[in-house]
Amino acid sequence: MQPAFRPLFLRLLFTQITGIWACSRESSISFASGSSDSLKGKKGFCQSVVSNRSPDVQNPDLPECFQLSVLSWLPCVYLWLACPPYLFYLQRNNKGYIMMSILNRVKTVFGLVLWIVCWTDLFSTFHELRQGDTKPPIYFVTPLVVGMTMLLALFLIQFERLKGVQSSGILFIFWFLSVLCAIVPFRSKILQAKYQSEISDKLRFTTFYFYFSLIVAELILSCFNEKPPLFSNIDTDPNPCPQSTAGFLSTMTFWWFTSMAIKGYKNPLEAKDLWSLNKRDSSEVVVPKLLREWEVEQAKVLSSTLTYQSRCPEEVEVLLSKQKDPKKPSFLRSLIKAFGPYFLIGSAFKLLQDLITFVNPQLLKLLISFTKQKGAPTWWGYALAFLMFFAAFLQTLILHQHFQYCFVTGMRLRTSIIGAIYRKSLIITNAAKRKSTVGEIVNLMSVDAQRFMDLTTFLNMLWSAPLQIILALYFLWQNLGPSVLAGVAVMILLIPLNAAIAVKTRAYQVEQMQYKDARIKLMNEILNGIKVLKLYAWESSFKDKVLEIRQKELNVLRKTAYLGALSTMAWTSAPFLVALTTFAVYVTVDKNNILDAEKAFVSLSLFNILRFPLNMFPQVISSIIQASVSLKRIQDFLSHDELDPESVDRNNTGSLLAVVGHVGCGKSSLVSALLGEMEKMEGDISIRGSVAYVPQQAWIQNATLRDNILFGKAYNEQKYRCCLEACALTQDLEVLPGGDLTEIGEKGINLSGGQRQRVSLARALYNEADVYLLDDPLSAVDAHVAKHIFDHVIGPEGALQGKTRILVTHGISFLPQVDNIVVMVEGRVSEMGSYQELLKQNGAFAEFLRNYSLEDIIEEDEATGTTTCYYSTGVFESYPTMSVALLVFRSTSIWKHAESDPEKKLPKVEKLIQAETAETGRVKSKVFWEYAKAVGPLLSLFICFLYGCQSAAAIGANVWLSQWTNDAAQNVTQENVSMRVGVYAALGMAQGLLVMVSSFTLAMGNIGAARKLHYALLDNKFHTPQSFFDTTPIGRVINRFSKDIYVIDEALPSTVLMFLGTFFSSLSTMIVIVTSTPIFAVVIAPLAFIYIFVQRFYVATSRQLKRLESVSRSPIYSHFSETVTGTSIIRAYGRHNAFVLMSDMKVDENQKSYYPGIVSNRWLGVRIEFIGNCIVLFAALFAVIGKDKLNPGLVGLSVSYALLVTMSLNWMVRMTSDLESNIVAVERVKEYSETKTEAPWEVEDKKPSSDWPSQGNVEFSDYSVRYREGLELVLKNLTLSVKGGEKIGIVGRTGAGKSSMTLCLFRLLEAAGGEITIDGVKISEIGLHDLRSKLTIIPQEPVLFSGSLRMNLDPFEKYSDGEVWKALELSHLNKFVSNQPAKLELECSEGGENLSVGQRQLVCLARALLRKTRILILDEATAAIDLETDDLIQSTIRTQFEDCTVFTIAHRLNTIMDYTRVLVLDKGQIAEFDTPTNLLFRRGIFYGMAKDAGLAQ
């Protein structure tokens, strides 16, 4: 027998246990020699224990000395070592105590009996000593040690109960080790009894079997769980996470997750099925933990700067010059302090796992050498097979524990970072806020926090990868000697290649992100201004712009794909190249070096172990670099200055103060200063009592109208109704579909500007503060509403009388009624006093009044004289084209009913914006087919074929290697070495090339598919009718363009690549094992069945968890961006803590679905790897069984393949699941690429002549229209005819159908009956662009796109610069534009934010002047423009469009008093249609309106 038979691992394990092992090693399993004289050295310790029985090869036995010493002491040593740290841990983590249960009593009794049994042995030894029968010392030591250990175990059982431990891992391992070590003497004693006529030592024989049955009983008992501790939150929690009560075995195998997997398999999981978050992972525990550490860091830095300042100035200067930048508090250190200790437990598991990884190659070595020896006993083969299985299984359990710790750390990091950023964003100064936009801060939360989370998973690779590499190289050196260096050289050469690829890929990613951001920004603007694009027929220009960016993006993607293919090749070929060079060098260096199966396959399995750390290491380094960038960004944000809560001292008494002044003179800044929002330079501010604040731009939350007004205060019916009444909201509620329980969209999207402002005011009123800061709340509402609000809320008689009110206003008519007026000029107070005093002073204020007062005051005063002007108080004061019908239609059509308040029988509340549904159930195979079609069906088949070839080449290379190793047995090595090496190299190279070609072809196919899918989506969205955009939140459409297209561009290709790779590698493993040991086919069926069974459970559950996670993620960010825009209001009302709590709840809600998601991966991993381990076991077993028929090469081949399969199987399931979650993106994009489209843009055979319309005659004949199928008609049977050049004013109450009429001309609404003809052409028959390009509209809300001013005026570049300047001159913008350095190329920011509203309106006028069509439609602007600009526009229109047909929707009647005719609409029908004079004479509706406006007596 060869010494290779001596189990090396045993030697490894026991070298540290004294010298006993050394003494008995020789006789342990030496099958050849029967001598046992090696005990002489230790005669004193266990003399005469060993019987001189020759070991039997078929029935080997360990020497009794070894059994009594090492095997008995091993569990004891473990328990005593584990005890101190464990006790320390229990002292720290007390969970409350557990009542004494039957289980606990039984365990305790058994422990006592065990102690008695051990000491019975001890006393019997003393007894024999007295009898004069001296035993060796081991008979005293072992029972004493074991007995003491049993007492320790007994103590632990009770101590754990008092500390609330329900199931003990420490004790479980102890009992398990005890049973394991007792099996050897158990068998040994039976064998002895068999060989000897009678049992020599009956007492010890009996006590041992007692002992054995008791420890088995203890082992079984420790598998069960105790009841939860008293008063634990398990009882109070409706849906607690079973992990907290799970036993040790359940925790190790993640068995506690099974209930969720089953539930998810039966029905798709819903949010209510999720377990509550463990307390220790929740925001309320995690965030304060981090913030405490961060405060400590900040305090440190602060104290160090203070010590600097306390020194004398010269010294400080010297020191400062040495220390360039001031020391910053370290966020990293606070993270490590807060979460490091927990993470280290995971690292300990990783260390264990790394060591166990190397056991299997050693066992493989023994197995191959076993098959070579013909006479070797079969039990040894079986032992090896089971040891391989056991080592692999242990590795699985430990690896997944490591992952669990890492992922939970990552999850806590994310929670705490989001929490810290949220809390910080509520208190940073405005200057700091300007440094980072809302988008950037949201990015800190989403992207940067995510990076930390991803890093924690692999952080341990930093030390683990080098360790694995060193160990692998050590074993390889033992195997192959110095030839290994050749392989190492290849690895070292591959590292810079991988690094270069990684660096380049990073660069491309950055570039691609820029294009993606640009594309999303543009899409966002397009969707926000889609109506304007349709009205101007500008779609194709913008479509080209998007496609141009998209093309650049795809080009970068293509480059990334080339690199990806290269790196995939490097990743698959690296182990092969290393093996090739090593083997080639090994056989050529020395004639005596023979490559046999043992050397080849053990080396191969070691090379495979090397593959992972070598590839991970560069990736870990690069993600550490990324995370360090994120770290710096987060650290900078958290170090921003905070507002000083002490800057405003509060006291003063009630009066009404108005603040007036020109645009930009600092009125709003004054209000901000009073709120403490500005940085205080000098002086002091004092305010007495609480504050309520109404900002200039109302801040509305995405909640119900009522919640917006209550803003966290308790509901009081009477007070609430009074607020609604005072703010003129009562009439609006009648129009809203769900009354005050209507859900308001983000940023108040479904309220008009005026309604938003009134809700904001009602919120302030309801909050009953002492001081009211009102920043121009009256500008957004119509004149009569403003009057109502002033009288009922703000004015001397209003609800706020007696409170301090500071009102910023432009409305001159209210000034006489205020107590004091402050006039501001360029940030200073120029005058202050009452209205009369200021008039007397005849300063700037008097001048200001003289300019504006006349028409304004007349118009407004008359308006306030009558109250007949309430008709739903301007539900749409500033919504251009939305009548009440539209509002109703937005909310009634497809939205589902929410449950209404049971006490009040309100109408069923309609959810305005449908919750985005998470898909459920399996992804339909149709979707996969859609994607395959987009890739190209033939290409898809070809890709699969390439993958097949690549696997075939890999199998070929390894089969060839096994043939080569068999040469060694036949001693025909030298002759054909070069041929063997050559073919092996050729097959390997072929595999590398095929890998590259296949991954490259796949990438090309994927990019082609991405292009097609995006184009279809974009094209469809430009052709979608306006009604779709009115009912679909923009965010949802943007999501398709950003998230889903990103998945199709980047995530899906890599998933498909991984899926195909793992699928073919698993397949080839099966083929190899079955061909080498055909009997293996028997096992495949049951294993495959279990595999598919587990896979189906996992995929169903995990898919749904992923969906729930992504659905619950967006509320975190939308709540956050909402908060950031409203920080000043939240602070003014003192709602800081409530909002922090809301954010925490949203984060926890998201982690609730994320946590089961991580655990589901662990659950799957343990089960699938168990199947993989079974494959290893059976491959080894069948190799042992068929050992006589098999050559060592085949055994090596099949077992080394089996060792690889675990990873592929695990990843294959994960990839199946990822594939299903990612392919959903294709489904979602498809869904939006197939929505109903509007009429074609151009109809070739119906094209009107180029000069149409030459006259501008417009005729409506019996025309009706509705917003959508199944809704009421908005216009009913209109018949009227307008001659070319007429000027028509359109008036009517809100909701009469004024705007709808203009939309019909542009066919944004299609006729429900009747016709419109323009110059004899029926507009319903021609293409939309032909129609829309010949009409011009100046919309009520001016929309600009980001880009140059020139592009905004003339996107198709039809006009010369001269014409553009002419238009600017006529629209009074030329002075402004020519003062800009960029002139026409002046960059407009998103939405034209860098121009004032008035300037934007003038740009729209310039657009109209450029187009100069025969028909002009004006949707007159109200509050947006100051009186000067309004006059400019009116006069320009009168002169420039003299001979055109003009339709004006009038809000201010004085603008249309000189028009040809006025059309009065009422409820969608023509009420009056005649000249203004005739209509006034008739005293009908028009007369009433004119009287309200003070234009008629």
pLDDT tens sequence across 1445-1483: 888 887 777 777 888 888 888 878 888 888 888 888 888
Whole-number Å distance between alpha carbons of 1108 and 1120: 19
Q: What is the pLDDT of residue 1125?
A: 78
Q: What is the pLDDT of residue 916?
A: 54
Q: What is the pLDDT of residue 216?
A: 93
Count, residues in the chain: 1497
Q: Which two three-digit tokens encode residue 969?
A: 């047995």
Q: What is the pLDDT of residue 58?
A: 64
Beta pairing class for 1287-1291 and 1445-1449:
parallel
What mean pLDDT comes out for the span 1111-1137? 82
Query: 537 pLDDT exceeds 70?
Result: yes
pLDDT band at 163 (very low <50, low <70, confident <90, very high): confident
Tell me the pLDDT tens digit for each residue of 616-646: 777 788 788 878 888 888 888 888 888 777 6
pLDDT band at 416 (very low <50, low <70, confident <90, very high): very high
Q: Which two three-digit tokens encode residue 131?
A: 């009898």
Query: 389 pLDDT exceeds 80?
Result: yes
Please state the pTM of the whole predicted model.
Answer: 0.75
Tell me the pLDDT tens digit for each residue of 1350-1381: 888 888 888 888 888 888 888 878 888 888 88
Amino acid residing at 743: E
Q: What is the pLDDT of residue 886?
A: 34
Query: 7 pLDDT exceeds 70?
Result: no
What mean pLDDT comes out for the span 703-721? 86
**Cβ partners under 8 Å of residue 756, min gap 6:** 698, 700, 748, 780
Q: Which two three-digit tokens encode residue 168?
A: 């003990």
Query: 21 pLDDT exceeds 80?
Result: no
Q: What is the pLDDT of residue 25?
A: 33
Whole-number Å distance between alpha carbons of 736 and 758: 15
Among the residue ranges 198-202, 972-976, 981-985, 1003-1007, the one predicted with the least confidence is 972-976
Q: Which two three-digit tokens encode residue 364?
A: 């493989």
% of the chain with per-residue pLDDT over 90 = 12
Tell me the pLDDT tens digit for each residue of 107-160: 999 999 999 988 888 888 888 888 887 778 888 888 889 999 999 999 999 998
Whole-number Å distance between alpha carbons of 661 and 708: 31
Q: What is the pLDDT of residue 875?
A: 31
Q: Is-contact 516 1046, C-beta < 8 A?
A: yes
- Ranked by mean pLDDT, the top range of 142-146, 186-190, 522-526, 787-791 is 142-146
Q: What is the pLDDT of residue 1042?
A: 82
Beta pairing class for 685-686 and 656-661:
unpaired
Q: What is the pLDDT of residue 1292?
A: 78
Q: What are phi and psi of 163, to 5 degrees?
A: -95, 5
Whole-number Å distance between alpha carbons of 952 and 940: 19
Burial class (CB in 10 A: 0-12, 13-18, 19+), 1128: buried
C-alpha distances out from residue 1141 to 256, 715, 1117, 1126, Å: 30, 20, 15, 16
Beta pairing class for 1335-1338 and 1415-1419:
parallel
Q: What is the pLDDT of residue 336?
A: 92
What mean pLDDT comes out for the span 1235-1255? 83
Half-sphere exposure of 932 (CA within 13 A, CB side): 12
Q: What is the pLDDT of residue 919?
A: 56
Q: Is-contact 1211 1062, C-beta < 8 A?
A: yes
Mean per-residue pLDDT over the chain, rounded? 79
Q: Which residues pair with 694 in a beta bridge?
A: 774
What mean pLDDT comes out for the span 1254-1260? 86
Tell me the pLDDT tens digit for each residue of 1207-1237: 788 788 888 878 887 888 888 888 888 888 8
Query: 1198 pLDDT exceeds 80?
Result: yes
Q: What is the pLDDT of residue 18?
A: 31
942 or 1382: whose pLDDT is higher?
942
Among the residue ranges 489-498, 614-623, 984-993, the one predicted with the least confidence is 614-623
Q: Is-contact 1495 855, C-beta < 8 A?
A: no
Q: What is the pLDDT of residue 288?
A: 93
Q: What is the pLDDT of residue 569?
A: 83
CB atoms within 10 A of CB 814: 22
What mean pLDDT comes out for the span 315-335? 70
pLDDT band at 190 (very low <50, low <70, confident <90, very high): confident
Q: What is the pLDDT of residue 415?
A: 92
Q: What is the pLDDT of residue 677?
A: 73
Task: Map residue 1355 onto helix, strand or coil.
Answer: coil
Q: What is the pLDDT of residue 317?
A: 60
What mean pLDDT comes out for the span 94-104? 84
Query: 1035 pLDDT exceeds 80?
Result: no
Q: What is the pLDDT of residue 75?
A: 92
667 or 176: whose pLDDT is higher?
176
pLDDT band at 318 (very low <50, low <70, confident <90, very high): low
pLDDT band at 315 (very low <50, low <70, confident <90, very high): low
Q: What is the pLDDT of residue 308?
A: 64
What mean pLDDT comes out for the span 358-384? 86
Query: 899 pLDDT exceeds 60?
Result: no
147 or 801: whose pLDDT is higher?
147
Q: What are phi and psi of 1473, to 5 degrees?
A: -150, 100
- Ranked by mean pLDDT, the top range of 405-409, 672-676, 846-850 is 405-409
Tell me the pLDDT tens digit for each residue of 34-76: 333 333 334 456 654 444 444 445 667 778 788 888 888 899 9
% of the chain with per-residue pLDDT over 70 = 85
Closest CA to 281 of 975, 901, 1233, 1150: 1150
| DSSP sequence for 1284-1316 | TT-EEEEE-STTSSHHHHHHHHTTSS-EEEEEE
Cis-peptide, bond into residue 75, ω within 30° of zero? no
Whole-number Å distance between alpha carbons of 163 and 96: 6
Task: Map residue 1322 onto helix, strand or coil.
Answer: strand
